[in-house]
Structure 1
Amino acid sequence: MAPTLYMSEISPSCRAVMMTARILGLTLKVKKIDLCKNEQLAPNFVKINPQHTIPTLIDNGFVIWDSHAIISFLIGKYGNDDELYSKDIMERALIDQRLHFESSVINNFTRTILNPMLYENVKIDIEDHKESIYKTYALMEKFLRCFPWIAGKKLTIADLSLIPAITSLNVVLPISKQDYPNLSNWIERAENLPCYVENQNGLNQLRDLLQKRSCCCPC
């Protein structure tokens, strides 16, 4: 039986899981949760995940949430090798560091900028956040100074996790290729991955919804 994934394509974290599943050739039974309608608070879902967050995965009765935990689990159970999540202690430490960077830094922008705009219909002045976002882009630029992928020479789950997050932030505050060439090239490499389609679908929805929210916000 295929694992069940509770998700929303707009969510960068959910897209990370979908990209991982696609690259593994794994079919997921997708159940969409509409955050705009607070479907994550439905009693049946809260019973599955008391934290009522997405993505949430159920695999043969095993329930797990948080995208980083999910993609690590999927690689461990369904991956044919350790290419995406190296077992080498130093390589894995670097991958984990990038994942924690995404969790603590990038996801903060999702919580403070994207989520209020998308689900609370709050008008956010991006000017108030430009400096911190540009500092984050600058850090990513340095991470990518020596290698083509975020944690080294090979694509890893750190890339699969960060790609949806950074490209979503790029929708809000575009990344200048002149100022951030390494970061821009990394995004272009990601766009050529077969699994990127799982990110593109959600990005399109994100742009459409943000545009709709912007048009509806009172001036």
Structure 2
Amino acid sequence: MPDFYFASMSPPCRAAHLVAKAVGVDLNLKPLDLSKGEQNDPDFVAINPQHCVPTLVDGDLTLWESRAICTYLASQYGKSDSFYPRDPKTRARVDRLLYFDMGTLYDRFGKYAYPVLFGGERPDPAKLEKLHEALGWLDDLLAGSSWAVGDRFTVADCVLVASVSSFEAGGIDLGSYGRITTWLEKCKTSLPGYEEVSAQGLAIFGGFAREKLSK
């Protein structure tokens, strides 16, 4: 059983945990309280010198970077290739969304939200506008298919929903994005283990983010 070091309020951690649920692999859950600096404990730093979460230890493999963990779990434990398709063109479409989430969508949310949540700054309307631009692109990318890529959920849905659900919990208005809101509700009701994985972390995140980001 792989060891999984995580913080429930972290969207990247929830993404990897959702992938594990989707492929049916049990994880030995090892929560870290980031507010107490547990990620800096010497025992954890010995495992991951970057002392970041999520971190996965599966036998002789120690892995961090959430999207790498997601694709590893899908490749190693997936019972078919539908969740992380082997077909090069379909996989490229999935990978595109993983990179889009990392380099554009979640990146823009972080640049908007983190200075406010952790640096005491006031929300920057220009940064919020950039986030909405990225949400508009995602809304367009969701056109013409039931899920993020095609008619079955893939690892891309787990990664994207971890981000978008956090935006929603933090008070980001998604009402202008009809495809996103329809897809988001489908993820909430259809992805394996969604409520179990997401409820606590989203409640914690929304509890302090919504008020600060609304100022």
Q: Return the TM-score normalized by structure 1.
A: 0.88
The answer on whether the counterparts of 1:9 and 1:202 sit within 8 Å (CA) in structure 2 is yes
The answer on whether the counterparts of 2:98 and 2:156 sit within 8 Å (CA) in structure 1 is yes
| CA displacement, residues 77-97 of structure 1 (integer Å, 9 cap, x when unaligned) | 111111110000100011011
Change (3 A) 1:109 1:200: farther
Change (3 A) 1:5 1:124: farther
Q: Distance in 1 between matches of 2:122 and 2:203?
A: 20
| AA aligned opposite 2:179 | N
The 3-state SS of whatever aligns with 1:81 is coil
Match of 1:129 in 2: 127
Match of 2:71 in 1: 72
Following superposition, the deviation at residue 37 of structure 1 comes to 2.0
Change (3 A) 1:41 1:207: same
- Alignment equivalent of 1:183, drawn from 145, 160, 180: 180
Q: How does 1:15-94 map to 2 (within 5 A)?
A: 15-94=14-93
Q: Distance in 2 between matches of 1:135 and 1:110?
A: 11
User: Unpaired runs of 5+ in structure 1?
Assistant: none
Say if 2:170 is the partner of 1:158. Answer: no
- Alignment equivalent of 2:165, drawn from 160, 164, 167: 167
The answer on whether the counterparts of 1:8 and 1:34 sit within 8 Å (CA) in structure 2 is yes
Identity %: 29
The 3-state SS of whatever aligns with 2:152 is coil
Q: Distance in 2 between matches of 1:97 and 1:146?
A: 17
Following superposition, the deviation at residue 117 of structure 1 comes to 4.3
The 3-state SS of whatever aligns with 1:145 is coil
RMSD value, Cα:
2.0
| AA aligned opposite 2:52 | T
Following superposition, the deviation at residue 53 of structure 1 comes to 1.3
Q: Greater shift after overlay, 151-160 or 36-45?
A: 36-45
The 3-state SS of whatever aligns with 1:57 is strand
User: How many residues are treated as equivalent by the alignment?
Assistant: 211
Q: Greater shift after overlay, 37-46 or 99-108?
A: 37-46
Q: Distance in 1 between matches of 2:7 and 2:112?
A: 17
User: Unpaired runs of 5+ in structure 2?
Assistant: none
Q: Distance in 1 between matches of 2:177 and 2:209?
A: 24
The answer on whether the counterparts of 1:113 and 1:124 sit within 8 Å (CA) in structure 2 is no
| AA aligned opposite 2:68 | A
